[in-house]
Amino acid sequence: MSEQKMMKASVMTTLGHFDMKEVPIPKPGAHDVLVKMKHVGICGSDVHYYQHGKIGDFVVTGPIILGHECAGEIVELGSGVGEKWGLNVGDQVCLEPGYGCGRCELCRTGKYNLCEDMIFMATPPYDGALQEYVCYPLECVFKLPKNMSTRDGALMEPLSVGMHACQVAEASIGKSAVILGAGPIGLVTLLCLKARGVSHIYVTDLVQQRLDTSLRLGATAVINAKENVMEEINKLTNGKGADMVFETAGSTITTQLTPDLVKKGGIILLVGMPPDGRCNFNMSRLIGKEAQIRTVFRYRHCYPLALNAIEAGLIKLDELRSLITHSFKFETECTEAFVTSRDDKVNVIKAMIEM
């Protein structure tokens, strides 16, 4: 029997505590690819699990490896990964961090992101990417275009959220939009709206640095959320409101504000999730406007589109890259990375762990 090769994994053994463990390197099954992780971005959800141990119904009950925004290099192919898949040892790839059962109605109608049995990285009970090697099904593995590094590749996950939101909101040329919340998801939504030709994009946030970033990335105007946002949006839209309103802050207050900002006949797109999952909508305002509320849960079929959009320059790589504000080393700085992400919301947009 050959000796099992080992790797390092950063395991959250108890709430808010990481242990660097030696664990066996997984063996790829027939249709899997073994990827040496190079970059893992820290998501708001990772920080939430680190801090609170749960998000809604997902509760951490044992040791877990966090991280789901990841990219790396293929080091081994499963026996069934034939030539037609275009994946080879040495390829730089990003991983779409979840897959459905493939058998249920939702999977078979293409809505795999809603599968009851979704296996998603760093969502209890499933482990994530903060380990040296990850074995993953070939259909979730996407080769990066030549102009992209694995550091860029790790940003495809949040970008896909923005791509999906903009598709569902039917964002198109010449329309107007409000983005409530200029965190990473609000900012990638801004980049996707620009790429789709949305001409007037207004961004709100409480943090001035984030508003400055929004302006740099092409927002038409920004509003500090301490102001009367409804009044300001009315001024900017001649009292009409915006065609689309994206809630990306995940706050009850901004969610409740959406009916006041949307144009008659417009679309409200809920991306963030209010902390206790509930909010009070002004239904008479909504109905009087014949406005639609739409929601998105993660994304589906967005990775190839996101990669194409970047390769073609529709989404500017330097703008996307600029969202990475902090970098940390995997072996020694996991705790620092999470603590900084948790405590410095003013300066951290996206923290990246270098593997």
Site of interaction with Zn ion (CB under 5 A) = 43, 100-101, 104, 107, 115, 157
**Strand 64-65 with 6-14, pairing:** antiparallel
74: left (phi over 0), alpha (psi -120 to 50) or beta: beta
Closest distance between Zn ion and the C-beta of residue 103, in Å?
Answer: 6
Shortest distance (Å) from residue 112 CB to Zn ion: 6
**Is the CB of 188 or the CB of 217 nearer to Zn ion?**
188
d(C-alpha 106, C-alpha 108), whole Å: 5
**DSSP code string of 172-192:** -TT-EEEEE--SHHHHHHHHH
User: From the CB of 109, what's the least distance to Zn ion, in Å?
Assistant: 10
CA distance 158 to 162: 7
Q: Which is nearer to Zn ion, 72 or 266 (CB)?
A: 72
State the residue for tokens 């809630």: 247
Note the maximum CA span of the chain.
75
Q: Among residues 81 and 115, whose Cβ is nearest to Zn ion?
A: 115
**Minimum CB distance to Zn ion smaller for 162 or for 259:** 162
CB distance 266 to 240 below 8 Å:
no
Q: Quote the CA–CA distance of 63 and 14 in Å, as a whole number.
A: 7
- Can you tell me which residue has the tokens 């409740």? 256
Instruction: Calculate Rg over the CA atoms of the chain.
Output: 20
* The one-letter amino acid at 53: G
- 157 vs 243, beta carbon nearer Zn ion: 157
Beta bridge partners of 262: 242
CB of 137 to Zn ion, least distance (A): 13
Nearer to Zn ion, 114 or 286 (CB): 114
Shortest reach from residue 352's CB to Zn ion, in Å? 12
Least separation in angstroms between residue 185's CB and Zn ion is: 8
